[in-house]
Amino acid sequence: MKKLQFEKGECLYENSLQSVDDVKDWISEGEVNISSLDNRLLLKNVKDPDVYGDHAHWLLWCNQKFPDDIIIEWDFLPLEEPGLCMMFFSAEGKNKKDLFDAQLEKRDGYYPQYHSGDMNTYHLSYFRHKYEEERAFRTCNLRKSHGFHLVTSGADPLPPVEDVLAPYQMKLVKYQNIIQFSINELPILYWEDDGETYGEVLQGGYIGFRQMAPMIASYANLRVSKAILKESL
């Protein structure tokens, strides 16, 4: 796999994600139960997926808008499955509107609103243990929207919950037209957006965590840094 070496520059945002207070200013779409366990942010659905189906899922946005060329790092600990976990990034409203502009269509956690709605974003699914076919052949998927375009995939090294021993260190790089993702420093996927096939390259915007019910997971040590290209390997 092609890999570029990036180093972290200025820290743009840092949040230990230890308690509910750490995300009191974040923006939730859909109903998410937020609590704390072992000094880590514990996230799960409120609505029962057996009753609400795909309307039981949710998305939790960091309330800070970021520039382009960033490294996003966080600790991830899956606790109960089945489910699916995602990171949204470079998210903005269509027609250059802010993601939370009141003129945009209302969002409440239902997935089509995010991949084919009134917004543009990249979204990475890195724990795809929701459906039988996902568990049988495990991949991390990168999509670009508007349009639900699957642009690349990589093998997922994360085991079932019962085999998890410790939190995983996730690292996502968005540098100009380059997207690179690793887990515990193991390269998972790499993609270059040509700015034509699926529309112009997305630059800057918001980041957010998403889970598909009934997934339960905890998070810690979110850090967003300026990405500096160091060298090619």
Check whether domain 4-13+66-101+111-211+224-232 has CATH 2.60.120.200, yes or no: yes
Helix (H) or strand (E) holding 173: strand 168-175
Give the three-state DSSP class for 117. coil
Look at the pTM and tell me if it is higher than 0.85: yes
Confidence of residue 202 (pLDDT cuts 50, 70, 90): very high
Q: Name, in order, each residue with C-beta under 8 angstroms of 117's C-beta and a sequence gap of 6 or more.
A: 105, 107, 146
Rounded mean pLDDT of 216-221? 98
Six token digits for residue 122 = 């990249």
Six token digits for residue 202 = 């997305």
Task: Give CA–CA dist 44/56, Å, rounded.
Answer: 10
Q: What is the pLDDT of residue 222?
A: 98
Confidence of residue 4 (pLDDT cuts 50, 70, 90): confident
- Indicate whether 233 pLDDT > 80: no
Q: What is the pLDDT of residue 195?
A: 98
User: How many other CB atoms are there within 10 angstroms of residue 191's CB atom?
Assistant: 18
Q: Are 74 and 229 spatial neighbours (Cβ–Cβ below 8 Å)?
A: no
- Indicate whether 232 pLDDT > 60: no
Q: What is the pLDDT of residue 231?
A: 67
**Phi and psi at residue 164, in whole multiples of 5°?**
-75, 130
Q: What is the pLDDT of residues 41-99, one digit of tens each?
A: 999 999 999 999 999 999 999 999 999 999 999 999 999 999 999 999 999 999 989 99
- Pick from 56, 54, 63, 52: which is nearest to 31 by CA? 56
Rounded mean pLDDT of 18-34? 98
Q: Greater confidence, 232 or 9?
A: 9
- Indicate whether 179 pLDDT > 70: yes
Q: What is the pLDDT of residues 83-97, one digit of tens each?
A: 999 999 999 999 989
Q: What is the pLDDT of residues 98-152, one digit of tens each?
A: 999 999 999 999 999 999 999 999 999 999 999 898 999 999 999 999 999 999 9
Q: Are 224 and 70 spatial neighbours (Cβ–Cβ below 8 Å)?
A: yes
Q: What is the pLDDT of residue 52?
A: 98
